[in-house]
Each structure stands twice: as C-alpha cells, then as structure tokens.
A and B are shown apart, each in its own frame.
Chain A
Amino acid sequence: MEGETDEEQQRFSYQQRLKAAVHYTVGRLCEEVAADKEMQFSKQTIAAISEVTFRQCENFAKDLEMFARHAKRSTINTEDVKLLARRSNSLLKHITEKNEEIAQFNLERKAKKKKKLEDSREPPDAGVEESKN
C-alpha cells in the first residue's frame, strides 16, 4: 500500500516537473511573441496556455497511440502525427513541409554515409567483390 502511494507521489511529482517545464517553454514563447507584437501577456494567460498545452499533449499521446494501433503498427509514425494535425490546414501544411525536410535530410545523410562507407570499403573490398562476381 505504501509502495503504491509512493509511486503515485513519484508520478505526481514527475508530472509537476513536466508541467513546470511546459510552463517555462510557453513563457519563453510568449515572451518572443510579445516582443514581436509589442503586446504583453499576463501571467494567467501563460498559465492557462501551458495547462491547456499539457492536457492536449496527453490527448495527443493517446490519439497517436490509437492511430498507430489502428494502422496495426507498434511505433508511432509521422503518418500518425499528420493524421493528428489534419484539422488545421496550416498546421498540417507546416508539419508536412517539415516532414519532407526531414526526409530529405535523412536521404542526404544516408547518401553521405554510403559514400563514406564506399570510400572506406573500396580498397579492401574491391578484391572481394571481384572475386564474388
């Protein structure tokens, strides 16, 4: 029994820390926006935004898991994220663009790696490949 309450307390404190982190990030972002638009954000606003963000993150996580399971996968994919963001067009566009960027980046990385590997492998493997062929 005590172990359970300890666990609960641990989880609660963990949750609080996460909330604090979210709050901090939201505060920073609001500062930037305030500086940009020359408007002030009240503390309650920032608190409200961070609370909403946190709760939405919980929802998103559950939804993402559901989507992944719906597609009979055990890993959450970018497709799941895109499905999640489909409601707002701008957000969806943004995410799709980012996704493409990342994909491209990955491809480039792979190409680079391959080149490196080929360069490093060529001298010793040249003989092996010829023998294989």
Chain B
Amino acid sequence: MQSSRMRKPWLRLVENITPSSPSLHSSQRRRSLRSAQRTLLETPSSRRLSSQTKTTARQCSYGANAIGKWSHVQASRHLEEQTPRTLLKNILLTAPESSVVMPESVVKPEPAPQLVQPSRQESSRGSLELQLPELEPPITLAPGLLALGRRKQKLRLSVFQQGMDQELALSQEPRGNADASSLTSSLNLTFATPLQPQSVQRPGLARKPPSRRPVDVGAFLQDLQDTSLALAPLGDSHRTPVATLPTDTVLEDTQPFSHPLVGRSPSVHHSLPCPSHIGAADAERAVGHRTRSSGPKLQNNSLGKPAQPLVERAEEVNALDMGFPNINSSVSGEGGVKPLEDRVGEEAEERMEEGLSISEMKEATGVQRSAKAEEHEGHTEVQEAEGSQGAIEAMEPEGSSGDEDTSGGTATPELASNTPEFLQARRLHQFLEPTPPPSAADLCSEPLGPLSARLPPRARTIGPRPHKDPYKAGLSHYVKLFSFCAKMPMEKKTLEMVEKCMDKYFQHLCDDLEVFAAHAGRKTVKPEDLELLMRRQGLVTDQVSLYVLVERHLPLEYRQLLIPCAFSGNSVFPAR
C-alpha cells in the first residue's frame, strides 16, 4: 500500500488532506479538498482522483468526526483499488464472468446490484479474458459521481475516448452509466490490456473462443499422399538402404509398431493405408516437418493388429517413433527438401533423418517378417526404433565414436545386464555433454553435405533385395553413421560387431519391456514399463525423473506430446 502511494504523488495530497485534521470543519475540509482538486484537474488520472475526492468531500458533509475516518477510508479504499494488486484482483474476479457477445448475458460483478448496468456496459466492451479492471472502483462510487463524470466529458483528451463515448452514447444505458464507463475507459489507458472496441451494436467484433475442430484425418492423409507422390521423384541418399527393397509389395503389408499416441492423443485414431512408394527423402523431410509442426495431430498410420501388443510404448521410444509412423503417412504438405535444411536445430533434424531411414528399415523388416508372430515383429520394429533412438543419441554428440567403440567392444564378450545399462549410460552421458554449437553445426552440416551430394546418384539405384538380413537392415544405417562419426577408418568387422551389439541391446530392451508389462499383469507395454527399465539402467533416479530426461534430450514437439501440459479451455494434453 505504501509503495503504491509513493508511486502516485497526487494521491499523497488526499492522504495529507484526509487524515490530518479530524477537527476540521466539514466546509473547511471541502474547501481544502476542492483546492486540491483544482490542482489535479489537468490529468485524467487526477480527474479520477478529483472525482473521488469530491465523493469524499460530499461524504464529509454528512458527518463531523466520522467524516475524517470515513473519507480517509474511502480515499484509501480508492487508493487501494488503483493498485495493480487490486486491479488484478478485479480482473480475476470479473474475468470469467464477462461475455463479450451479449451485454445482457453478462453476469454482473459482485458489488452492487444498483450498478449492474454500468458493469454490463463495461463488460460488453471488455475483452473476453480480461474484464475491465476498473469495474469495481466506479461501482463503489456514489451515483453523484456519475453526474460529475458528465462534466468531465469536455476535458477528455483522446479521440479514442471520444469514440468510446460515442459508442456508449448509442447504447440504451443511462447517461450517467455511460459516463461512468467512459471514465473507466480513461482508466483503461493505464493498463496494457487492449480494450476491445466492441459495443452492443457490433457483436461481430467479439473475440470468439478458439474452437478447435477435430482434424480431418482423411483429408490430411490424402494431402500427404498427394504431396508424397509429388515429391517421390526426388531422390535421397538415405534411400540407399531402402532402395534395395521392393517398395510396393513390401511396404503395403507393413504394419510397423503401433502409434505411440494412440491412447493419448485427442486426434482421431486412424489407420493409414501405407503409401508404399514414399521416397526416403520425402519421408525424412516429412518427419522433420511433421515433428516440428504437428502437435497433437498425430496419426496412427499403417497400424494393424501386430501393433496392438505394443500400442502404448514408453515415452522416449514413443516420442521418436512418432516421427517414424509419419513416414508411412508420407510427406506433409509442407514438405520439401530445402525448408528442412533451413530449420533451426540441426541436431534434431539429423535425428529426424536418421530416424526416418530407420523407420523405413523397420517398414521393410516388418513386411518381410509379417509371417512371424505379431509380438516378435513388433519387437523387432521397436528394437530398431530403439536402435535408432540409441544410435541417434550416440551419434549426435561429438566424440561419440571413441566411446562407441569401447562400449561396443565391451558389449561383445558379455551380454550381462550390466552391459546394456552401461551402453545406455554411456550414450546418454555423451548426450548430456554440452555439444558446442559450432562443432555440432559442423557435424550436422557435414553429414548433410555428403548425403545431399549422394542424392542424385542414389536416386536411380532401386535394385534387388538386400542380401543382408533385413532384421538388421535398420541398424546398418546407424552403423554407417557410427563409422562416419568415428572420423577414422574402421574395419568391417568392427561395424559388424557394432551392429550385432545394437541388435542384442534392443532385443534385450524389448524383452525387458515385455516382461515388465507381463509382470504388471498387462498385455500392453506402457510408459511405466519403460520408466522402470530406465530406472534399472540408472538413468531415472530419485533426483532425475523421466520428465527431466525428456526435457533435456527431446525437442519441444516430443516434449509436448509426453509431458502433460495444461492448455486453455481447461484441457490437459496429453490426457493422463
């Protein structure tokens, strides 16, 4: 209170006047007040004060000693009402009650029923979210004040106010009320909240609450397909691993892992027809775009029953897998090679690309193993997803190669439970190392460079099936990245060993997840299972929760999908 008083020097006058002399005669007080008023007549804020002091003066005339206290209280109350705190309080009190559409439908604020009309009037002018904060001060003013406000009209300075007054004059409200609200319009100037120039006559200007209509998944997918077809001719370096696969028959049967957000996203759960002829580049670009652009609008693409056991995967895998299914859903409308490369966050971009190629691998593998058991298939796909995730995390930071080698070496002789934990810990540790931006930029630009250079020549090499085991085809891409990051020539045996280790690691991981889910009496893997796994790995501790890791390592889009956030309209996404 004191601070607010200090800020408004003109208020101090009232302070000095009112409590100082209870013995003053009421007329004397009135005189002193009036003199104070004259000095304050210039500014609109002082105008406000003068009106208030006049109120106090008027009230002073009613009694003798009690006047002092009463006016003091009044003044102080008025003073209080002008503090940011009280104003905010007013906002909060009045905000939910305001409706801009119809003035009559507005719920009047608490104070006085007699001043319902001015409040309504003001609320009709107020914004949807922020009711005019000055509702209360004018309401508490005596009706005589309104008459005073009338006199003040000529002193009004801004055209805006005049416009407001004109609008108010159009209303059916009594003039007094209009003046009161016009007074408040002057008060509004002191606040940052923009006043909505709406009146009873113009309901169309009202700000409508944002209506989120459900995404038309069918149309969206159709657009994707069209754009993917358009972008199909574009080749890509990443096509190499996939290029050898016969895309049409293979990918059409593909039912990779289930969409991670099936149970959670508010969007329609839609099983996409897999457009088989998606180019690898398109998919990658698409994923990069989609992961950045799409929020809850994720689709369950090319899902089938095989995916059911793994309907709900844990956070990180899900987060990355979210990008993968989008490959099947083909390119988003925004797709294009260039925009992706212009994007900020090259690391994420690289990750997307890697993930995309991996997901393509998964598709291929999924199709070729469609004859196998559902769970197993899901496992492999998930494994590759995990592999992609792990590889991504490992690849991105600088100097990961050395660690990768050593970790790979240690992994081979012993496949005890310590090893996957160790690997994961090492990888995440690398991830946690702050990657200096320029080096990261160099790293990211370099792979993009050679990859894009390989784009044109690779575009035509859609040849026979891969001679390698498709089960591991997805990992080969990461092995290549691994060898690139090593910055040293690597033996083929090393790469094979790395691939083996990754394979085992992810197999192990998925077995664990399955077992954990079964342990909890469930048939679907849930995020709790993955949290338990990470806890066993030592990544999630009592100090570091899963959400902390998500925030640390995943881009914003994934984080939005994973961590429940409250949005406007009392909706929490993703729903817990």
A residues with a Cβ closer than 8 A to B are 63, 66-67, 70-72, 79-80, 83, 86-87
Contacts and interface: CB of A to CB of B under 8 A. Distances in A.
B520 A66 contact: no
Nearest to A86: B515
Contact of B521 (A63, A71, A83): A71
Interface of B: 416-417, 515-516, 519-521, 528-529, 532, 535-536
A91 B407 CA distance: 26
A71 B519 contact: yes
A79 B528 CA distance: 18
Contact of B515 (A63, A66, A72, A83): A83
Contact of A67 (B417, B519, B521): B519
B418 to A, nearest CB: 10
Given A83-B515, A87-B416, A70 B520 contact: yes
24 contacts: A63-B536, A66-B532, A66-B535, A66-B536, A67-B519, A67-B532, A70-B516, A70-B519, A70-B520, A70-B528, A70-B529, A70-B532, A71-B519, A71-B520, A71-B521, A72-B520, A79-B519, A80-B519, A83-B515, A83-B516, A83-B519, A86-B515, A87-B416, A87-B417
Contacts of B516: 70, 83
Q: Which 4 A-B pairs have the closest CB atoms?
A: A87-B417, A71-B520, A70-B532, A83-B519
A14 B535 CA distance: 27
Contacts of A63: 536
| Most chain A CB inside 10 Å of its own CB: which residue of B417, B516, B519, B535 | B519
B414 to A, nearest CB: 11
Which of the listed residues A63, A66, A70, A71 has the most CB atoms from chain B within 10 Å of its own CB? Answer: A70
Given A66-B532, A70-B529, A86-B515, 10 more contacts: A67-B519, A70-B516, A70-B520, A70-B528, A70-B532, A72-B520, A80-B519, A83-B515, A83-B519, A87-B416
B545 to A, nearest CB: 14
Contacts of B536: 63, 66
Contacts of B528: 70
A79 to B, nearest CB: 7
A72 B535 CA distance: 16
Nearest to B516: A70
A83 to B, nearest CB: 5
A66 B530 CA distance: 12
Nearest to B518: A83
Nearest to B532: A70
Contacts of B416: 87
Contacts of B519: 67, 70-71, 79-80, 83
A86 B417 CA distance: 10
Contacts of B529: 70
A102 to B, nearest CB: 20
Nearest to A82: B519
A16 to B, nearest CB: 25
Contacts of B532: 66-67, 70
Nearest to A88: B416
A5 B528 CA distance: 37
Contacts of A83: 515-516, 519
Contacts of A72: 520
A72 B515 CA distance: 15
Contacts of A70: 516, 519-520, 528-529, 532
A8 to B, nearest CB: 19
Contacts of A66: 532, 535-536
B50 to A, nearest CB: 64
A53 to B, nearest CB: 15
Contacts of B515: 83, 86
B365 to A, nearest CB: 26
A83 B520 CA distance: 11
A67 B528 CA distance: 11
Nearest to A72: B520
A1 to B, nearest CB: 24
A66 B520 CA distance: 11
Nearest to A80: B519
Which of the listed residues B416, B516, B529 has the most CB atoms from chain A within 10 Å of its own CB? B516
Contacts of A67: 519, 532
A56 B516 CA distance: 20
A86 B519 CA distance: 12
A80 B529 CA distance: 14
A87 B515 CA distance: 11
A70 B540 CA distance: 15
Contacts of B535: 66
B214 to A, nearest CB: 34
B341 to A, nearest CB: 43
A114 to B, nearest CB: 30
Contacts of A87: 416-417
A71 B528 CA distance: 10
Contacts of B417: 87
A70 B529 CA distance: 8
B536 to A, nearest CB: 6
